[in-house]
Amino acid sequence: MSKKYWLMKTDPSTFSVEDFKKNPRQTTSWEGVRNYQARNFMREMKKGDLAFFYHSQEDPSSIVAVARVVKEAYPDPTQFDPKSKYFDVDANPTNPRWFLVDIQLEKVLKTPITLPELRKNSKLKNMVLLQKGSRLSVQPVTEQEWATVLEG
């Protein structure tokens, strides 16, 4: 079974690559996803899959790092925690609604790859990230797109 590629968005004021670097073993649980499509993609992720780590809400927004899936999907504990901002009143522990994966920082890019640069590359015009109105926070990236992005 071959490796798959993904892109995971984060607002750096919530969780940035700097926060990621400081975490123990440079690992984090991708908590707080509350969108079914994004959740479904996380459930497809396999250990060893790679993901672009993307900062949204920046000037310019950019891919800043590469991360690796180190633990496959399991229930997001924040859905059951009334003190969490991700608490979901309707979440049922015997049939959890929200899932997350653990990812580890693989490498920080020396130079972030900005959204305008990605848009300029015609080979990337079908990337989910670049579609009009695309807000999906966890999305698939094809092998060709992955290679194209990294070769710059």
Partner DNA sequence: GCCAACGTTGGC
How many residues touch DNA under the rule CB under 7 A: the total is 19
CB under 8 A, 24+ apart: contacts of 34-40 = 34/86, 34/88, 34/98, 35/136, 35/137, 37/136, 38/136, 38/137, 38/138, 38/139, 39/98, 39/99, 39/138
CB of 89 to DNA, least distance (A): 10
Within positions 47 to 66, which residues make up the interface with DNA, using CB under 7 A?
Answer: 56-61
Asked whether position 115 contacts DNA by CB under 7 A, the answer is yes
Nearer to DNA, 57 or 126 (CB): 57
Within positions 66 to 105, which residues make up the interface with DNA, using CB under 7 A?
Answer: none
CA 18 from centre of chain: 15
**Binding residues for DNA (CB under 7 A):** 9, 11, 35-37, 56-61, 115-116, 132-137
